Chains A and B, each alone.
Chain A
Amino acid sequence: MKSEQNFGTRLLTIVKWFILLFFLLVALLPLVWLFINSFRSNLELQISSFGWPQKWLFSNYIKAMEMASLPRLFLNSVITSASAVALNIIVAAMAGFILSREFFKGRDTIYTVLTAGVLVPIIAFMVPYFSLISRSGIYNTLFALILVYASVNIPVSIFLVTSFMRSIPKELEEAAIIDGCSFTQRFTKIIFPLTQSGLVTAGTFCFIYSWNDFIMAMLLTSSIESRTIQLGIKFFSSQFITDYTTMFAAIILTIIPSVGAYMFLHNKIISGLTAGAVKG
């Protein structure tokens, strides 16, 4: 009986590990493929997509760095994404505070109008954004991208932050008011700190969009000084020719910092995402 139980447990463990390893392989294989092919020549890649490099071409990485000005573009991406997240969070938190904690006429209408932006496809904003940015004299600046990325994500951020703030007990604020908290202090000392998990989620959405965006960066910028990393990766494909292996090297170089940052910070990111998920 006991040996049957042991067999069952072992079988379950094997199945569990098999499933986990399968998904691990599915997740890692594209990255491994990308990494190996970043050392091959284009001709090798065209002949066979799978295989070891005949000669490990480290020169692909040097070419990637030199051709696309990757360090500069990476810095631009960091500045743009971080600033857009900061701006987006500040605006969303202030709007969410008013929309969730204050009662006034038209509050629900304002909330609906603001969050309805989630339903409008980004491509519909291309002409108005281009027109506004160009005419306001900030075309081809990082500030234009920061403004647009922060704005595009306002609806989803307000939706998330407002919902999160509504779940905070009113009694906490009432106690603070009795203790002499002003209107501003209610926001800065009570609600804002308690909404950190919601803000992390909203900020993560905004960061992912800002980091991955290609269309707006292409539309609103025109020089290396204000372009982002996604445009750098595209630098290896022209109208008729794509230098795939150098592009793979560029992709590897651009994901190393993100992966590194995640390895150091993953505990904080996960705790931020899951905090508040269970009330106790």
Chain B
Amino acid sequence: MTKKGLILLLTILMMMGTVLPVFAQGAAEATAPAKEIELRWASIWVGADSKAGPVAAIVEEFNAANAGKIKVVIEPQPDYNAYEQKVRTSLAAGIAPADIFTIKLNPTTAEFYNSNLLMDFSKVFTGSWKSSFEAGSVNQSTIGGKLKSLPFETAILPMWYNMDILAKVGVTKVPQTVDEFWSLMDKLKAAGITATSQMTGDTNAWTSMIWFSHFAVSLGGPDVWSKPFTDPAFVQAAEYIKRMIVNYSTADAIGLGAGGSGGHFLAGRTAVFSNGPWYAGRADLAATPFFKNITIAGLPGFGSTSNYMISRIQANICAAASKDAAREAAIVKFLQFLTSPEKVKSIAQPSGAMFAVKTDAKPANHLQVQFTQLANSVAVSAPDFEAAMGAEATKEFTQQLSALALGKITAQEFTKLVALKINQD
């Protein structure tokens, strides 16, 4: 190759740089008509999610009604953990991840409220729009007088009892007292049945984190999360969760993910499981022979607090702030459409999910009925560990939970190590 060849090579490279962005059909601004406002929604409700279909239908309906003016484009976010990482990374870089996106509001993500990147809805969130939301959820999402995320999907996190398995050991109702609870665990173990589906894997040890939260709230009261994590209530809760993992769970609990934990319950291998309402809409659960005999309930009071429930706001909707008033108005218009009782109902009914928007949605199956009844019947509710303490503390909780279950650390050491992380944050 001579000079001519070298020039040719450089020309090809320059052409690559010029031509390849042609693949950027996703870079919407270039292709959208001039007057149409295109809103990118980084949606987690895609793919296999039970809310994916209804959400897509709502977007389609909105786009049809606003053709030529506003177009909402769903950007699928298939992996939730990676999505959370993306949101954190983009906000750290000073760029909103999309025009519309969701977060789990907790002490970690509440930091986003300090950023000017997010729209403050407090001025426009008034009248009938505001009154259609549950006031408690709105209060939880209002920080320093600012409403930079709208509460949307909510959940209670109770226990799921497979009554067919309980019947095998002569138990016909869920335990009402702590003695009845331990008696049930021991009876199941003696009969060679694995009592529960515990797990210490993933980024939040999801199902075991729910169990731990139940113990802690019952022992320390609904405001337990405001206490130092070395409080005796947390130490005792750690002792209980260790006992559950070591004595009454499947052998693969240490390191197991939420899929495996749920899989054991679905396969009828375990009697008691913990999860939120979204699990009730699963087709494979409905296909199990024990589906009709699942009871949704809480745990008995392990401490002074009983008749309580663990609850959380599962997804808050955020929007990117913009200097363009028309763009912000378009975002508000879409969010008002999405969160209208009628549209929320269309998502809630087929999926079984619960929302901060008041609707007259009819539960699709007996599990969803039980969820609604349970949510309305409890005297007090409190958030779970992750919702109260944030993502970083939860990662530490998850790592140390394995060490606790393996006997490498004591319950006191467990709480001290997690407390250290909480205080760092």
**A225 CB contacts on chain B under 8 angstroms:** 23-26
- Which of B2, B23, B50 contacts A226 (CB under 8 A)? B23
Closest beta carbon of chain B to A80's beta carbon, Å? 9
Question: B92 touches which one: A127, A189, A244 (CB < 8 A)?
Answer: A127
Q: How far is the CB of A185 from chain B (nearest CB, A)?
A: 7
- How far is B284's CA from A185's CA once the two chains are assembled, in angstroms? 66
> A83-B20, A219-B89, A238-B52 given as contacts; is B78 within 8 A of A141 (CB)?
no
A-B pairs under 8 A by CB, number: 159
- Which A residues are CB-close (under 8 A) to B282? 241
Which of A20-28, A42-50, A160-168 contacts its partner? A42-50
B276 within 8 A of A: yes
- Give B355 Cβ to nearest chain A Cβ, in Å: 15
On chain B, the residues within 8 Å of A43 by CB distance are 266, 284, 287-288
Q: Is B17 among interface residues, defined by CB-CB distance under 8 A? A: yes
Kindly list chain B residues whose C-beta atoms are within 8 Å of the C-beta of A141.
20-21, 23-24, 26-27
Nearest CB of A to B395, in Å = 14
User: Contact flags (1/0) for B112-135 with A, using CB distance below 8 Å?
Assistant: 000000000000000000000000
A248 CB to nearest chain B CB (Å): 13
Q: Could you tell me which residues of chain A, from 232 to 268, have a CB within 8 Å of some CB in chain B?
A: 234-244, 246
B26–A222 contact, CB under 8 A? Answer: yes
Which residues of A have CB within 8 Å of B27?
137-141
- Interface status of B258 (Cβ within 8 A of chain A): yes
Is A67 interfacial (CB-CB < 8 Å)? yes
A-side interface mostly: helix
B170 in contact (CB, < 8 A): no
A235:B1 contact, CB within 8 angstroms: no
Tell whether, in the assembled complex, residue A237 and residue B48 are in contact, meaning their CB atoms are under 8 Å apart: yes
**B21→A236 contact, CB < 8 A:** no
The minimal Cβ–Cβ distance linking A146 to chain B, given in whole angstroms, is: 7
Contacts of B226 in A (CB 8 A): none
Q: Could you tell me how many residues of chain A have their Cβ less than 8 Å away from some Cβ of chain B?
A: 58
Residue of B whose beta carbon sits closest to that of A240: B278
Question: A173 CB to closest chain B CB, in angstroms?
Answer: 15
B329 interface hit (Cβ, 8 Å): no
Given contacts A146-B20, A237-B48, A241-B282, contact A127 B89 (CB under 8 A): yes
**Complex CA–CA separation, A231 to B77 (angstroms):** 9
Residue of B9, B95, B268 near A131 (CB, 8 A) is B95
Are A140 and B49 CB-contacts (below 8 A) given A134-B95, A234-B79, A241-B282? no
A209 at the A/B interface (Cβ < 8 Å)?
no
Minimum CB–CB distance from A121 to chain B (whole Å) comes to 14
User: By the criterion CB–CB under 8 Å, are B47 and A236 in contact?
Assistant: yes
Contact B16 A83 (CB under 8 A): yes
Within 8 Å CB of B77, what residues of A? 218
Residue in contact with A138 in the complex, picked from B3, B24, B40, CB distance below 8 Å: B24
Check B47 against A238 for contact (C-beta < 8 Å): yes
Q: Any chain B CB within 8 A of the CB of A31?
A: no
Report, nearest first, the 5 A-B pairs whose CB atoms are least far apart: A223-B26, A141-B24, A188-B1, A238-B49, A225-B25
Q: Can you give 23 contacting A-B residue pairs, CB < 8 Å?
A: A47-B267, A48-B267, A67-B47, A68-B47, A90-B13, A126-B85, A127-B89, A131-B93, A141-B23, A184-B3, A185-B2, A188-B1, A222-B75, A223-B25, A223-B75, A234-B78, A237-B47, A237-B79, A237-B259, A238-B52, A239-B80, A240-B278, A243-B47
